[in-house]
Amino acid sequence: MAAIRPGRPAAKKQAAAPTDAAPPPPPPAAPRNRGMTVPAIVVAAALLGAAFLMRGGGGGTTVQASSTATTAPVAEGAVVALDSITMNLASGDILKVGIALQLAASTDAKTEAADPSAFGARALDETISVIGQYSRNELAAAGGIADAKAKLSKRVALVYHDKVIGVYFTQFVIA
């Protein structure tokens, strides 16, 4: 029996064989996987569009409103949404509130609604005066926000000499 010498690798005999065979084909290119890119772009565009619409569509903030009121037959005009304000409550909490004013249908109301920031300054002042007297617990109680809204609507109607027939909360966040 022949002795095998431990220092020789056995792989050298195979490496010496001629390599006339064609090289193996390259692996197939990995498919371009877009993953979540397209849905993320669609969602981002939808969020930007929603933010644009919620801010009033950029130019004007006057919106035609349809009415289903069953009380006094008052002709309703445009709804003027005002910018949100941040204010303090009587309890020391912070309230971010946005309001919209329902105008009476008249030509004067339409011309006054052309500049909502100037037209709504008195309404925002009344909002601070009326709602600033409430505490967080009073507003959180059953009917608290409705009570505040009723008082604010009466005060705003007096200030605007019945050109404003309703007040709506568009935002109401207590922090």
With contact defined as beta carbons under 8 Å apart, do 93 and 71 qualify? no
Q: What is the pTM of this model?
A: 0.54
For residues 119 and 111, give the distance between their C-alpha atoms in angstroms, rounded to a whole number. Answer: 10
- The domain limits of the chain are 74-174
User: Where is mean pLDDT largest: 41-45, 72-76, 102-106, 154-158?
Assistant: 154-158
For residues 133 and 142, give the distance between their C-alpha atoms in angstroms, rounded to a whole number. Answer: 17
CATH topology of domain 74-174: Tetrahydropterin Synthase; Chain A (3.30.479)
Return the amino acid letter for 20: D
For residues 96 and 86, give the distance between their C-alpha atoms in angstroms, rounded to a whole number. Answer: 4
- Residue 153 is predicted with a pLDDT of 92
For residues 11 and 14, give the distance between their C-alpha atoms in angstroms, rounded to a whole number. Answer: 5
The residue among 142 and 119 whose pLDDT is bigger is 142
| Structure confidence by residue, pLDDT tens digits, 72-127 | 445 677 788 888 999 999 999 999 999 998 888 774 655 666 677 778 889 999 99
| Structure confidence by residue, pLDDT tens digits, 11-21 | 555 555 555 67
Return the amino acid letter for 73: P
Where helices occur in 57-170 by DSSP H, the ranges are 107-112, 116-119, 121-131, 136-140, 144-159
Question: Residue 51: pLDDT above 80?
Answer: no
Residues in the chain: 175
Question: Residue 66: pLDDT above 70?
Answer: no
